[in-house]
Amino acid sequence: MSLRARLLLPLLLLADLASLRPTWASSLAAWRLTSQGVLELRTSVNVNPLAFYEAGAGQRGPRVWIDLPGAPSHSRSINGNGDLRQVRIGQPDASTTRLVLEFAPGIRLDPGDLRLVGTARDRWKMEFKGVAAGLIAQGEGSIETASLPLPARPWSSGSGSGSGFGSNSASGSGRGSATGSGIDSASGFGSGIDSASGSTSASGSTSASGSSGASGIDLANGSASATGSGRGLTSWSRRPPARPALFPTASGPLSAEGLPLVPRGRFKVVIDPGHGGPDPGAVGIAGLRETDVVLDVSLQLARLLQSRGVEVVLTRTSEVDVDLPPRVALANSSGADLFLSVHANALSMDRPDVNGIESFYFEPAGNRARSLAAAVQQQMLAISPGSPDRGVRTARFFVIRRTVMPSTLVEMGFVTGSLDAPRLMDANFRRQMAVALATGVLTYLQNTAQGLR
């Protein structure tokens, strides 16, 4: 063997070994869409999928995508049938598998009906109501086969569960169009995301009248749940909370004792927890995220109102991303008596001296909207001693400008404020804030019932 060959041989062997370097296998083991329009998934045990929704426009139909830990063996596009145009499986980043279902233009999905429900530690389902026309069942892999835990991520020092998505797209924001790999690069919901919307609201975001025991990822509204995931992010009840250190649950049962009374079954309220999914909203002191604060408060608020006989519609009940228009559309089609969008404020991390509570309404909406904003502002201030009263103010935020019922958007304090942030981090304070908002809403509804508005 020549000297050149002897020198090249080790390099070739190293190249061969490099080509065998394992990838972090996808946690998506199998999927199936039934002829009844039910998506079924089998995953590795104890993974935490995240679901997203985007409304269609023009020649583009609505789409739903689900992100899971691990990389697929290959990206692919699969032609659909009936109301389903295409299924795509791809890799938006090195450690994520994305399953995209794109429906035909003109198909209408109600984001409030879309819930990714955990039925076992390795089983999930989502029902697409009203889209079963002409569907022929299709899928990949065996749904019935038993699953194993997701292996540790190779070539890393940790065990790597792979479920730490935090932000769910390669860029951390957005939504984008299909790439060459046949997958939607969720980056760029742009103004479509509200910091008040549910991700697109996973965009989209039902009437929360159901029981609180359901689990799953609700793509927007859904009935409020006692778990804070409602039908939400902690979809499998045995899974620990996503942010246990920063977001403990308040001690003791949530009680509606002492809240104002209104006629049971007469009123309906839409609660809009701002932001969600890849859009965390403001991020403040100690990594405090607006989306965590507002979702926790909103879910507790929903339960308090329900206990007083108020029907509640939530634009999201989990860490999903909902666009602003679907939030407004959901509210306007619900026949609700009022709309409350829940937020936390922020400024520069260099300005911890800025704190305070404020409530906004759209001036052309008139006195009813202002009365609602004033009622909740008063109650929030009552449980926040020392926090400045930034007032009841007019604004043109999309969600209060485009809703047809009296609406207000509240800022419960600054996640960047030295006074407000520690309070918003505290689970018991968030519970007090939920009670305060419930008191304000019920006071407004009580006055409405008495003809005082």
Show which residues are catalytic: 411
- Residues 360/395, Cβ–Cβ less than 8 Å: yes
Q: What angle do CA 100, 103, 107 make, to 5 degrees?
A: 145
d(CA 374, CA 370): 6
d(Cα 411, Cα 394) in Å, to the nearest integer? 13
Whole-Å CA distances, 283 to 177, 275, 420: 27, 12, 13
> For residue 322, what are its two tokens?
């909902």
Beta strands 389-394 and 217-218, pairing class: unpaired
